C-alpha cells in the first residue's frame, strides 16, 4: 500500500497522514483494533494530555501492532522507519492509545492548538 501524502497545517487545524487524522472534533487512529483493523475515534474532549518520546531501537519501533502493557499502537508497517512516538492520555482508556505520525512536529503543533481551544 502506498503511503498517503500527509496533509497538515496549523492554520487550518487539520492533520492527516493516511493512518492518523486530527481535526477540530476528534483524533482518528486508523487500523487500531485487532484483528479487525477498524479505526478508533477519540473525541478531543476526552484527551487530557499527551507525551512525545523518541522511538528508540527497542522502544516500540519494531512493534507493528499491539501493546507493550502501557500503550496500544495501531497497525503501522512503516513504524520501523519513524522516529517519534506520541502517547495520549485519554479519559477511560487503558492501555493508553499511541501513534507514530509521519510528520510529528506538525501533528503535535495541531494537537496542541486544538487542545488549547477546548
Domain boundaries, the chain: 12-116
Instruction: Name the strands in the sheet holding 14-16, side by side, starting at the edge strand that comes first in the sequence.
Output: 7-9, 14-16, 20-22, 26-29, 40-43
Query: 54-94: per-residue pLDDT in tens?
Result: 987 765 555 655 667 788 999 999 988 899 999 999 999 99
Does 97 score more than 70 pLDDT? yes
- Total count of residues recorded for the chain: 118
Does residue 69 contact residue 49 with C-beta atoms inside 8 Å?
Answer: no
C-alpha–C-alpha distance, residues 107 and 111, integer Å: 6
Question: Looking at domain 12-116, which CATH architecture does it have?
Answer: Roll (2.30)
With a cut of 90, say whether residue 12 has pLDDT above it. Answer: no
pLDDT confidence of residue 1: 44
Cβ-proximal residues to 5 (8 Å cutoff; 6+ apart), any chain:
none
Say if residue 35 is preceded by a cis peptide, omega within 30 of 0. Answer: yes
Amino acid at each position: 500500500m502506498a503511503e498517503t501524502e500527509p496533509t497538515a497545517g496549523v492554520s487550518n487545524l487539520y492533520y492527516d497522514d493516511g493512518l492518523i487524522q486530527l481535526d477540530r472534533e476528534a483524533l482518528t487512529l486508523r487500523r487500531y483494533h485487532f484483528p479487525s483493523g477498524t479505526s478508533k475515534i477519540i473525541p478531543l474532549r476526552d484527551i487530557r494530555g499527551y507525551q512525545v518520546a523518541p522511538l528508540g531501537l527497542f522502544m516500540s519501533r519494531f512493534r507493528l501492532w499491539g501493546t507493550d502493557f502501557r500503550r496500544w499502537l495501531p497497525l503501522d508497517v512503516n513504524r520501523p522507519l519513524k522516529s517519534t512516538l506520541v502517547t495520549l492520555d485519554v479519559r477511560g482508556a487503558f492501555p493508553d492509545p499511541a501513534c507514530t505520525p509521519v510528520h510529528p512536529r506538525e501533528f503535535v503543533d495541531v494537537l496542541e492548538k486544538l487542545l488549547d481551544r477546548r
